[in-house]
């Protein structure tokens, strides 16, 4: 396997044929920006890094939308005292008023846009659901948008692979790949020879 550090990982495995696969990893952010989907569209496999440490003030529980004059932040009021908790462990607030407020903001600012009606039903229903954890909400949005953008990619979750979340980005991806051989290899069984070497970051 050849690893391009940081944002993109190129994985090659030997199983009777030469095959190269591109893997990318990212935290499950709230209403992710289009650049994430551009990155995923260039990959064969996307790893949702839900074991990353939750960062207060980051983009896991907030994002911004366009308004007529500027920008408006939509923030999920997650309590701040989580210490070193993983994204996977962050509960949503019991008070669900933020859901009503976020949907209202989206509706008011996008209802007259060209493609709003194509996605309105999904988001209206989304903001009526009672998710228990932040990752559940964010993951549902990401999976919906992957389908909406017709991005065909295998999706894995770091939490399902029993890897050390404190590893550096490249090592974490390598560990995830080793823990997901069957999925990465499109159903092929074991017997894969892994060769690892680091390559310079390509941006």
Quick one: which of 88, 61, 87, 65 has its CA closest to 75? Answer: 61
Tokens of 176: 């995830």
Look at 9-13, 26-30, 83-87, 179-183 and tell me which has the smallest mean pLDDT.
9-13
**CB distance 157 to 183 below 8 Å:** no
User: Which residues constitute the domain of residue 57?
Assistant: 2-199
pLDDT on residue 137: 98
Least Cα distance to 186 among 3, 13, 6 occurs for: 13
Whether the predicted pLDDT of 168 surpasses 70: no
In this prediction, residue 18 carries a pLDDT of 46
Confidence of residue 183 (pLDDT cuts 50, 70, 90): very low
Output the pLDDT for position 30: 97
- The strand pair at 62-66 and 71-75 is best described as antiparallel
In the chain, the number of structural domains is: 1
With cut-offs at 50, 70 and 90, classify the pLDDT of residue 161: confident
Residue 169's pLDDT band (cuts 50, 70, 90): low
- pLDDT of 15 reads 35
- Report residue 166 as tokens: 């404190």
Cα–Cα–Cα angle for 84, 86, 89, rounded to 5 degrees: 115
Residue closest to 134 by CA, chosen among 54, 37, 32: 54
Judged by average pLDDT, the poorest of 49-53, 85-89, 132-136, 162-166 is 162-166
H or E segment to which residue 12 belongs: strand 9-14
Global pTM value: 0.76
Give the alpha-carbon dihedral of 35, 39, 41, 43, to 10 degrees. Answer: -170
Give residue for tokens 């994204």.
87
Residue 2 has pLDDT above 60, yes or no: no
pLDDT digits (tens, 9 = 90+) for 69-119: 899 999 999 987 677 889 999 999 999 999 999 999 999 999 999 999 999
Quick count: other Cβ atoms within 10 Å of Cβ 203? 7
- Higher-confidence position of 82 and 63: 63
Mean of the per-residue pLDDT values of the chain = 77
Exposure b/e, 169-201, CB count within 10 A at least 16 = b: ebbbbbbbbebbbebbbeeeeeebeeeeeeeee
Tokens representing 5?
A: 């550090």
Instruction: In whole angstroms, give the CA distance from residue 171 to residue 167.
Output: 6
């Amino acid at each position: 396997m050849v690893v391009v550090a940081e944002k993109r990982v190129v994985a090659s495995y030997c199983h009777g044929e030469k095959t190269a696969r591109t893997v990318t990893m990212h935290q499950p952010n709230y209403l992710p920006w289009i650049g994430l989907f551009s990155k995923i569209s260039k990959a064969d496999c996307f790893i949702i890094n839900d074991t990353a440490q939750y960062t207060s003030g980051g983009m896991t529980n907030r994002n911004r939308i366009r308004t007529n004059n500027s920008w408006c932040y939509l923030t999920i009021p997650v309590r701040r005292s989580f210490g070193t908790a993983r994204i996977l462990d962050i509960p949503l607030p019991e008070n669900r008023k933020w859901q009503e407020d976020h949907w209202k903001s989206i509706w008011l600012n996008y209802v007259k846009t060209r493609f709003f009606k194509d996605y309105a039903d999904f988001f209206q229903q989304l903001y009526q659901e009672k998710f228990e954890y932040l990752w559940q909400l964010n993951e549902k949005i990401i999976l919906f948008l992957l389908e909406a953008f017709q991005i065909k990619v295998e999706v894995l979750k770091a939490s399902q692979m029993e890897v050390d979340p404190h590893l550096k980005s490249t090592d974490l991806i390598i560990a995830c790949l080793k823990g997901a051989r069957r999925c990465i290899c499109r159903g092929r069984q074991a017997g894969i020879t892994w060769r690892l070497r680091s390559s310079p970051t390509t941006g």
